Structure 1
Amino acid sequence: MGNDRALNDAISPPIHLKRESVIRLRRTLLQWYARTKRDLPWRRTSDPYHILVVEYMSQQTQVDRVLRYYDRFVRRFPDIRALARASPERVLKAWEGMGYYARARHLQAAARQIVRRFDGCIPDDPDLLMTLPGCGPYTAAAIASIAFNKPVPVLDGNVIRVLCRLWAVRENPRQQSVRRRLRTLAEQLVPRQNARQFNQALMELGALICTPRSPQCEVCCWNFACQARKLSSPAQFPVRAPRRTTPHYQIAVGIVWKDGRLLIGRRPTGGLLGGLWEFPGGKRRPGESFRRCCAREIEEETGVRVRVGRQVMTIRHAYSHFRITMHVFECQYLDGEPRPLGCERVKWVSPRALHRYPFPAANRKLIEKLRQQWP
């Protein structure tokens, strides 16, 4: 009851902010950031290429996870031209484990367009940046602001949460009208001379203090102005749509041996987990046994007929938008020349060579569990 009342009492934010309020909000935020900001490797550079890489990596991914991949990636591909000329499989291998693999494909496609269209120079105009693959309004604004100090607002999930609480916005920020209003307010907050630091500070505030659950209002540098805090309900903002049920799929996968080698296939480039390699298999049909599913999927994907043997393990894994339970079987090769019928490529490889190929997370779990059993 109290939560409903807090939402009903919430106010629509003003479209025009008072100058004295803007000045105080800027000052207190930048002072807090100067004292407490995290020492992140991409904050030690203004190299536009490094900022481009980290902003693609940061899409729907937390900083701690990006930290595990960023240094290795920029060492492997030290500039825009190195990334543009690399093989897609090498880029996916460097990205392996971070998830959302379309980002890796988009990043390389963007690098190739930058080399071709802009002679290797990353543009500083958000509108031009948004013409690149995978570069939406947030990513374009972040690159323009952080790499080039352009005074444009950066509305990521952390910033949206902070602003919704600051003005107790009672509408869902996923609505375009609400998003436009938040952008109008953010534009007024961003200083013309120090946009780079301000935008990073605002994202940092959302990441460290104004967190989704249990926000630390007592130490927040903006608690003097926060309308959600005055309503005693910061965790009720932003308003969210009802959570959807996460799909759960039952998968059968075959470990197919022939002459000491394993059969693997590469997923179609444009699809889910595109360009990654995997052991053949797929979703079970209603009423189908897992063994029958395994044999059918292998033949449909690769043209190879197998005899399904014992089940060697079950792996459960959660991706961003769905969960799987993978039932893994040993399979004896019977006949058929491997062909890419339901995949992009298919090949026999030795177990020792598997580390050269990029695999989805669930398949990598399988590889680790099988490693001790391989001949």
Structure 2
Amino acid sequence: MDIAQWFKEEYLAADWKLWYYSASKAPGITPNQNPIEAHNRDIKRIVGPAINTSTEVILNSSLPRILSYFCSTRDSKGVSIIKPFSAGPVSIKAARKAMLLVEEGNYKKVERNSSVTGVLFNSRKYMIGDESVEATRVDESRAAIFRASLRGSLRRPEIVENMEPHYLSLHLVRVLTDLPFTHSWASPNWPETEVLRVRTKCHCDCKAFFVSGWLCSHILATLKLLDGFYLKVLLSSIPACKPPGRPRKVPKARQHDTPNTGQYAVPKLLKKMTRRPGFPTNWKVLVPLDINDDDGITTKNFDGIVRPWFAKDGKYYWKIEFADADIDVEPYDIQELAHVLNHTARSSYAFV
């Protein structure tokens, strides 16, 4: 309570309005954010003179108490309560991992009196169907040892080498209620009503769940197993994202990207899609196709959208949906899609 009061009186005082002025604090000077670093020293001095550490550590030790106060009450100005979650779309990484988690051997349902009370999932290191070298099925023996450890009971004698495979190789999603869950596909953003329903229905022990407050790959997999949630439809409805980071700077003034250089070079695309096959999902691409008409064979460009990948005989394939419904082509393998992405980039056609 005292920290929250200090936060309002000192941290939000009139002097802090000068954050966006220069270090001289003279009115009329072009606003900038340079003085923020100067206030880091003030934060340390007020929080505790004996603390000699980075600003990040200071904020991590003080702001959680402030947030917990505002999460449970409202101030006199009627500011909305700070919520431990934020509505939004599902990340493609979580959706892709959920697709793997629902495969046979990666999960085991926990039942009591003929009702499901939880679901155990493999951690990334032991997941079947991924790049793991220690893939292990979730069987009754592993589940019994892990559940006993949650009650404080460990096997004795136990060696150090067994600590991770026995006690740190599984994640538990607790099913708190048997309320049915239905998702609205009208928008890729999950509304607050659905977020609250997920928080009421399931609770996971992984880090991603506590970071987001409601969502992780294990939650999506649980919704698939218990409520028939359509993960494939979810993958096709995820908004396309631009490549992260700033535009690449050209190292030399006269150097230009060629089909064999730059981030869209075929070798780099092959390496990236092998490691992350979901990154081009929902990208707009320009596909050259040979059309046989009265004038002979003509090469024309058609715009299409890359749909989620699928695996067949140990290889990745992607389906491209074209705006022209009459065009029907076979799914593209990784080599063919890499050349399509390279052609799209060299044609200056926007992916998103």
Q: Which has the larger radius of gyration?
A: 2
- Tell which has more relative contact order, 1 or 2 (C-alpha 8 A, sep 6+): 1
* TM tier, smaller: under 0.3
What's the TM-score, normalizing by structure 1? 0.25
